[in-house]
């Protein structure tokens, strides 16, 4: 239930992210342009130029430096945000691990895009999946409205967990899609995110600390174990913050997974980001012809909600998992592999079919979604398929 | 320079440097360099350090030798890291979280690999953006931490593990980059070259740099016992000979004006410096190569003599 | 020293209360050590400035004690001393 009338703005995913950043008014933003996230950087620079925020904007010379500046500023105790995509995220790769190990709650908006070569500027999840084990939290949004609200929630989640967080959306499909976004007042945003209370600050000259020391074989493992624990603990924080947000502002955003028409469903499809929108439409239509299919959309991919998925997916006869990234020679896309692993302890488990789709922005049409649903329905009836099926490719 | 003078006695009262117990090689001169830099500051300091010998030997968990706030994140990004910290400091002042009159000197330490090579882009970017920090390049002229590989700071002829002196090739075939001139070409407000052997000169430069707003850069020669191949007690002497032979001239470029801060009373032949080091041993009987090196040293020195007192930007 | 388990370590792998390196004694590396002739010393402080291992301490602007448990025996102090007040001697095992 909405507690009040929220201001509705027609915004693209990039605009929604930039607008949320404006309302957050972080201490430091260091960023570098790359399609399809460039606009976030441009719009935010304009906010700075117009005095709508008093953030220090650092127009760095590369994404590697973007993340390095973010790390320096965050280690000084600042609230820090950035945005990137694809090659930019890949160039940052080294620094992602450092940000998370130093426990710095940087929030980064990612417009998911394919990785070169061949160079391609359109949506897929190769960039995000390349950083899935870096210790960052990763929240995938379906549409601009969700992007806006998730950026705000991510600041609080990150700072409570002392872990960095990526807020991700599909390149062009969501970054450039315009949609009605229900926005909060600046004051509401400020009150929700509050002030950052850092674990430590490199600016504390009275009580100096050393950050980023060398670990040899006697401590590295222990430090990593502690870091993993922090990521596990973040699950509770995510649930709490999302719940607080929903209660405060009358929303119903998912913390880990969103369920659609699963109640009486016999089969299910699992997806992330914008593909879920197309699948929901297809599900509505297929249900009219009697196919009992539901959807589970994974919102938070890291920390990975394997307990939830195990619980929710166990009842289905067949489950299709949609992957917008390759693993080059394993049993399918990363999402399907992790879901298979999640269900492994169950005695009776659904058949899991992996679909790879949409690489390099290849359209995922309603027809494609129908096709996926039909295959899952056939599996329920006993038909067998290859481990990995490619959807929407010219064979 | 007078204004920036501080006596050793005064410096000893401050005595901020690496604590004992660090693992730098016996005789490594960079701990003294760190002591000069930190003790010369009238304000508290925050240090960022690139990956390399200094970082590795001074912070082996749980032992840190740093008495000041210190951060290391990666090899190629120390300038970006200090830029982030300095930016946070500025925004905290702007937002009233830190009092306006609070002073901190931000210092980045990087080796030659971190500066001439892999970190040049981040350094160039941080300078262009005008962050307020002092960059100290401790130049040991190779990648020492990983076992003496060549860098673009390695001088012509030097034997390193990736420019080995062999039967056919006499060590490194290329000249070193002139990093000081590269940084000066950015229009950097203060750029200098220094040596730990000439400590008054070095300390004065550090103190002058702290007084100037914006990016500052000092390249300080940091001989390396195993990398250059000399006895443990000779580090300071080797650094001194580099200056006296004019291989490593001491000068500064302040707001575009060149100034030679030290002119040797008698310029020594570069051979004297080369002969002291194992890394040049294979050159000693190659008169033509020594002559070539001498010629290059002379040319650079002449150029500096000509530039002395001139304004270039 | 007993190594800490993962729950006892500070988050973010930071080191607090620095410097902590003095807990590590590097003096075992040395084969020679400085012998200080106090009567010759003019307290120019050059050895203090150049000792890489902060072995030589200064009190009231004068050379004070040598913390030999950290001395690596490099001999820089003896070499730099203008009045030969420091002499390197073999360490007795
Ligand atoms: C991206 C990256 N590449 C390579 C390395 C390996 N590495 C660590 S330190 C170093 C050399 C450091 O050389 P320099 O900057 O000259 O410092 P020195 O060790 O000589 O003091 C190298 C190659 C690294 N840590 N990171
Ligand atoms: S290898 Fe060279 S630079 Fe590194 S600690 Fe030893 S002497 Fe110093
Ligand atoms: S021998 Fe070296 S380490 Fe020992 S006191 Fe002298 S300068 Fe310091």
Q: Quick check: A287 contacting B, CB < 8 Å?
A: no
- Ligand lying nearest the CA atom of residue C91: 3
Tell whether B240 lies on the interface with C, counting CB pairs under 8 A: no
Q: What is the pLDDT of residue B3?
A: 73
Q: With beta carbons less than 8 A apart as the criterion, state whether A291 and A377 touch.
A: yes
Specify the ligand 3 atom closest to the Cα of C32. 1
Same domain, A347 and A219: no
Closest C-alpha among A219, A34, A251 to residue A148: A251
Residue in A with minimal Cα distance to B90: A56
Per-residue model confidence (pLDDT) at position A76: 98
> What residue owns the CA closest to ligand 3's atom 4?
C71
Among B65, B232, B236, the residue with its CB nearest the CB of C19 is: B65
Using CB distances shorter than 6 Å, the residues near ligand 3 are C 34, 51, 53, 55-56, 66, 71-77
Q: Do C61 and B13 touch (CB under 8 A)?
A: yes
Overall size of chain B counted in residues: 313
Cα B149 to ligand 1 centroid, rounded to whole Å: 10
Rounded distance from Cα C30 to ligand 3 centre (Å) = 9
Q: Indicate the helix (H) or strand (E) that contains B34.
A: helix B30-40
Q: Which of C48, C54, C89 to mutate to test the interface with B (most CBs of B within 10 A)?
A: C54
Residue A5 pLDDT: 77
Q: A66 and A128 in one domain?
A: yes
Residue C58, SS3 per DSSP: strand
| Spatial distance between the Cα atoms of B153 and B135, rounded to a whole number of angstroms | 16
Distance CA B269, CA B277 (A): 15
Residue of A nearest to C3 (CA): A218
Please tell me if residue C2 touches chain A, with a CB cutoff of 8 Å.
no
C1: closest chain A residue by CA: A218
- Shortest CA distance from C72: residue in chain B: B26
Q: Which residues have C-beta within 8 Å of that of residue A10, sequence separation ≥ 6?
A: A178, A179, A180, A181
Task: Tell me how far apart the alpha carbons of residues B303 and B178 are, in angstroms, rounded to a whole number.
Answer: 13
Chain C nearest CA to A161, separation (Å): 11
Is the backbone of residue B233 left (phi > 0), alpha (psi -120 to 50) or beta?
alpha
CA angle C72, C78, C81 (to 5 degrees): 135
CATH number for the domain that contains residue A87: 3.40.50.970
In 3D, which of A183, A107, A113 has the Cα closest to residue A144? A183
Distance of CA B7 from the midpoint of ligand 3 (Å): 22
CATH number of C39-93: 3.30.70.20
Out of A102, A213, A230, the one facing C15 most closely (by C-beta) is: A213
State whether B129 and A58 contact (CB < 8 Å): yes
Of A338, A345, A329, give the one whose Cα is nearest residue A306.
A338
How many residues are present in chain A? 395
Question: What digits encode the pLDDT tens for the residues C53-83?
Answer: 999 999 999 999 999 999 999 999 999 999 9
| Strand order through the sheet with A293-298 | A257-260, A293-298, A267-271, A318-323, A351-357, A388-391
**Ligand 2 binding pocket, CB closer than 6 Å:** B 24-25, 28, 30, 53, 57, 140, 144, 224-227
Which residues, in sequence order, are CB contacts of A328 under 8 Å at separation 6+?
none
b/e B197-224 (16+ beta carbons within 10 angstroms → b) = bbbbbbbbbbbbbbeeeebbbbbbbbbb
Rounded to a whole number, what is the distance in Å from the CA of A68 to chain B's nearest CA?
Answer: 5
* Cα C49 from chain centre: 11
What is the rounded distance in angstroms from the CA atom of residue B157 to the CA atom of residue B279? 8
Nearest CA to ligand 1 atom 25: B75
Query: Nearest to residue C8, comparing CAs of A222, A8, A190, A286?
Result: A222
Same domain, A277 and A224: no
- Look at C21 and B19 and tell me if their CB atoms are within 8 Å: yes
Residue A257: strand pairing partners: A298
Same domain, A285 and A188: no
Which atom of ligand 3 lies at the shortest distance from residue C78's CA?
Answer: 6
User: Quick check: B46 and A69 CB within 8 A?
Assistant: no
Locate the DSSP E strands across A312-378: 318-323, 351-357
From the CB of residue B145, how many other CB atoms can be counted at a distance below 10 Å? Answer: 20
Average pLDDT, rounded, for chain A: 97
Q: Is residue A2 part of a domain?
A: no
Position A2 confidence tier, pLDDT thresholds 50, 70, 90: low
Q: Is residue B145 part of a domain?
A: yes
Position B287 pLDDT exceeds 60: yes
Region label for A220, one of left (φ > 0), alpha (ψ between -120 and 50) or beta (otherwise): alpha
Q: What is the largest CA-CA distance in chain B?
A: 66
Tell me the nearest-neighbour CA distance from C27 into chain B, angstroms. Answer: 8
Domain span holding position A21? 7-249
From the list B66, B80, B94, which residue is nearest A65 (CB)?
B80
Tell me the average pLDDT across A24-53: 98
CA atoms within 13 A on the CB side of B62: 18
Centre of ligand 2 to C-alpha B226, Å, is 7
Dist CA A73 CA A43 (whole Å): 21
**CA B163 to ligand 1 centroid distance, Å:** 16
In the predicted model, is pLDDT for residue A271 greater than 90?
yes
The Cα angle at residue A38 between residues A34 and A39, in degrees rounded to 5: 170
The pLDDT value given to residue A3: 60
* Tens of pLDDT, residues A277-287: 999 999 999 99
Pair A313, A213 in one domain: no
Min CA distance, B90 vs chain A (Å)? 8
Give CA–CA dist A219/C4, Å, rounded. Answer: 8
> Which one of A228, A249, A270 terminates a domain?
A249
**Domain end call among A249, A278, A313:** A249
Q: Greatest CA span in chain C, whole angstroms?
A: 54
- Measure CB to CB from residue C9 to each of A104, A212, A223 and give the nearest one: A223
Nearest CA in chain B to C80: B236
Q: Is the pLDDT of residue B1 over 60?
A: no
What is the tens place of the pLDDT at every residue in B168-203? 999 999 999 999 999 999 999 999 999 999 999 999
Quick one: pLDDT at residue B209?
Answer: 98
What total of structural domains would you count in chain A? 2
A65 φ/ψ angles, rounded to the nearest 5 degrees = -70, -30
The CATH number for B257's domain is: 3.40.50.970
Q: What pLDDT score was predicted for residue A250?
A: 96
pLDDT digits (tens, 9 = 90+) for B290-310: 999 999 999 999 999 999 999
What is the whole-number distance in angstroms between the Cα of residue B275 and the centre of ligand 3? 25
**Interchain proximity A65–B124, CB inside 8 Å:** no
Predicted confidence band of residue B2 (pLDDT cuts 50, 70, 90): low
Total domain count, chain B? 1
Of the pLDDT bands very low, low, confident and very high (cuts 50, 70, 90), residue B19 is very high
CA distance B203 to B5: 8
Q: What sign results for the dihedral spanned by CA atoms A263, A268, A270, A273?
A: negative
Q: How far is A221 from chain C (nearest CA, A)?
A: 8
**Which residues of chain A are within 8 Å of residue B61 when distances are taken between CB atoms?**
213-216, 219
Residues of A with CB below 8 A from C15's CB?
A: 209-210, 213
Percent residues over pLDDT 70 in chain B: 99
Summarize pLDDT for A79-124 with one digit per residue, the tens: 999 999 999 999 999 999 999 999 999 999 999 999 999 999 999 9
**Which ligand has the nearest atom to the CA of C68?**
3
How many inter-chain contacts (B to C, CB under 8 Å) are there? 119
CATH at A349: 3.40.50.920
A394 burial level (CB within 10 Å; 0-12, 13-18, 19+): exposed
Q: In the predicted model, is pLDDT for residue B71 greater than 60?
A: yes
pLDDT in tens, B118-135: 999 999 999 999 999 999
Q: Is B44 part of any domain?
A: yes
Query: How many Cα atoms occupy the beta-carbon half-sphere of B77 within 13 Å?
Result: 26
Which residues touch A215 (CB under 8 Å, ≥6 apart)? A223, B61, C13
Give this prediction's pTM: 0.98
Phi, psi of A47 (to 5 degrees): -55, -40
A145 within some domain: yes
Tokens of residue B292, six digits? 């070539």
In which domain, by residue range, is B212 found? 8-307
For residue B116, how many C-alpha atoms fall within 13 Å in the half-sphere facing its CB? 23
Same domain flag for A220 and A167: yes
Tens of pLDDT, residue by residue over B204-224, are 999 999 999 999 999 999 999
Nearest-5° angle of CA B21, CA B242, CA B18? 15
Based on the domain organization, do A211 and A294 belong to the same domain? no
Cα separation of A105 and A85, whole Å? 19
Distance CA A82, CA A29 (A): 6
CB contact under 8 A, A205 and B72: no
CB spacing of A55 vs B91 below 8 angstroms: yes
Closest-CA residue to A361 (of A115, A144, A130): A115
Question: Of A191, A223, A249, which closes a domain?
Answer: A249
C-beta atoms of C75 and B21 within 8 A: no
Could you tell me if residue A92 is inside a domain? yes
Mean pLDDT of A334-339: 98
Q: Do A162 and A301 share a domain, yes or no?
A: no
Which chain A residues contact residue C5 at CB under 8 A?
A: 222
Q: What is the mean pLDDT of residues C12-31?
A: 97
- Nearest Cα neighbor of A61 from B128, B217, B81 is B128
B195 and chain C in contact, CB less than 8 A: no
Which of B56, B144, B278 should be mutated for ligand 2, with most atoms under 8 A from CB? B144
Cβ of C11 within 8 Å of Cβ of A208? The answer is no
Regarding whether A278 and A224 lie in a shared domain, the answer is no
Q: Nearest C-alpha to atom 8 of ligand 3 is from which residue?
A: C51
pLDDT at B4: 86
More confident residue, C43 or B5: C43
């Amino acid at each position: 239930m909405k507690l009040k009338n929220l201001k509705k703005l027609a915004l693209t995913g990039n605009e929604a992210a930039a607008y949320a950043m404006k309302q957050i008014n972080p201490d430091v933003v260091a960023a570098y342009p790359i399609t399809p996230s460039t606009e976030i950087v441009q719009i935010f620079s304009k906010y700075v130029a117009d005095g709508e925020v008093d953030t220090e904007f650092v127009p760095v010379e590369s994404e590697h430096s973007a993340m390095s500046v973010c790390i320096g500023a965050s280690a000084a105790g600042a609230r820090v945000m950035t945005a990137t995509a694809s090659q930019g995220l890949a160039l940052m790769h080294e620094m992602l691990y450092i940000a998370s190990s130093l426990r710095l709650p940087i929030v980064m908006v990612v417009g998911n895009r394919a990785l070169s070569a061949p160079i391609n500027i359109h949506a897929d999840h190769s960039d995000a999946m390349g950083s899935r084990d870096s210790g960052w939290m990763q929240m995938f949004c379906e549409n601009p409205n969700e992007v806006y609200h998730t950026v705000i929630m991510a600041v609080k989640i990150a700072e409570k967990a002392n872990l960095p967080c990526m807020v991700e959306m599909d390149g062009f499909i969501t970054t450039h899609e315009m949609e009605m976004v229900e926005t909060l007042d600046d004051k509401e945003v400020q009150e929700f995110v509050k002030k950052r209370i850092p674990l430590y600050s490199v600016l504390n000259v009275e009580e100096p600390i050393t950050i980023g020391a060398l670990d040899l074989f006697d401590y590295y493992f222990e430090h990593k174990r502690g870091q993993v624990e922090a990521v596990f603990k973040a699950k509770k924080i995510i649930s709490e913050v999302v719940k607080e947000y929903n209660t405060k502002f009358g929303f119903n955003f998912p913390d880990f997974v969103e369920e659609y028409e699963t109640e009486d469903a016999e089969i299910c499809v699992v997806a992330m980001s914008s593909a879920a929108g197309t699948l929901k439409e297809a599900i509505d239509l297929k249900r009219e012809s009697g196919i009992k299919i539901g959807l589970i959309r994974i919102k938070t991919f890291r920390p990975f909600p394997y307990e939830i998925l195990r619980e929710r997916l166990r009842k289905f006869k067949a489950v299709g998992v949609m992957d917008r990234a390759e693993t080059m020679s394993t049993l399918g896309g990363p999402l399907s592999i992790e879901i298979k692993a999640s269900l492994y302890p169950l005695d009776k488990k659904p058949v899991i079919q992996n679909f790879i789709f949409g690489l390099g922005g290849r359209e995922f049409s309603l027809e494609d979604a129908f096709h996926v649903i039909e295959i899952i329905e056939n599996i329920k009836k006993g038909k067998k398929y290859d481990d990995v099926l490619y959807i929407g490719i010219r064979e | 320079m007078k204004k920036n003078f501080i006596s050793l006695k005064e410096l000893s009262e401050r005595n901020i440097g690496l604590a004992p117990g660090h693992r730098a090689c016996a005789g490594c001169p960079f701990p003294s360099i760190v002591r000069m830099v930190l003790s010369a500051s009238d304000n508290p300091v925050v240090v960022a350090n690139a990956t390399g010998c200094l970082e590795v030997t001074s912070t082996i968990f749980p032992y840190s030798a740093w008495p000041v706030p210190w951060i290391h994140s990666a090899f190629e990004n120390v300038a970006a890291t200090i830029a982030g910290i300095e930016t946070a400091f500025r925004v905290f002042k702007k937002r009233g979280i830190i009092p306006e009159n609070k002073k901190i000197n931000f210092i980045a330490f990087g080796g030659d690999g971190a500066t001439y090579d892999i970190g040049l882009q981040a350094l160039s970017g941080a300078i262009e953006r005008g962050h307020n920090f002092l960059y100290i390049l401790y130049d040991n002229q190779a990648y020492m931490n990983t076992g003496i590989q060549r860098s673009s700071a390695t001088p012509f002829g030097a034997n390193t593990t990736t420019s080995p002196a062999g039967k056919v090739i006499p060590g490194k075939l290329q000249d070193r980059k002139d990093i000081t001139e590269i940084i000066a070409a950015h229009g950097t407000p203060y750029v200098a070259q220094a040596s730990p052997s000439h400590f008054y000169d070095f300390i004065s430069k550090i103190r002058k740099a702290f007084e100037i707003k914006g990016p500052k850069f000092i390249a300080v020669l940091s001989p390396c016992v195993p990398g250059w191949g000399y006895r443990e007690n000779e580090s300071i002497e080797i650094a001194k000979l580099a200056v006296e032979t004019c291989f490593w001239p001491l000068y500064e470029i302040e707001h575009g004006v060149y100034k030679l801060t030290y002119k040797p009373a008698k310029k020594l032949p570069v051979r004297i410096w080369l002969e002291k080091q194992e890394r040049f041993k294979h050159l000693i009987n190659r008169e033509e190569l020594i002559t070539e090196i001498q010629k290059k040293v002379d040319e650079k020195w002449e150029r500096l003599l000509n530039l002395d007192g001139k304004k270039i930007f | 020293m007993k190594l800490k388990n993962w729950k006892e370590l500070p988050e973010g792998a930071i080191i607090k209360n620095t410097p902590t390196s003095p807990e590590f004694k590097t003096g075992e590396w040395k084969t020679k050590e400085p012998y200080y002739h106090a009567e010759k010393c003019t307290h120019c402080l050059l050895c203090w400035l150049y000792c890489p291992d902060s072995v030589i301490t200064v009190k009231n602007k004068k050379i004070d004690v040598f913390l030999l448990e950290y001395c690596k025996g490099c001999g820089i102090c003896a070499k730099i001393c203008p009045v030969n007040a420091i002499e390197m001697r073999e360490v007795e095992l």
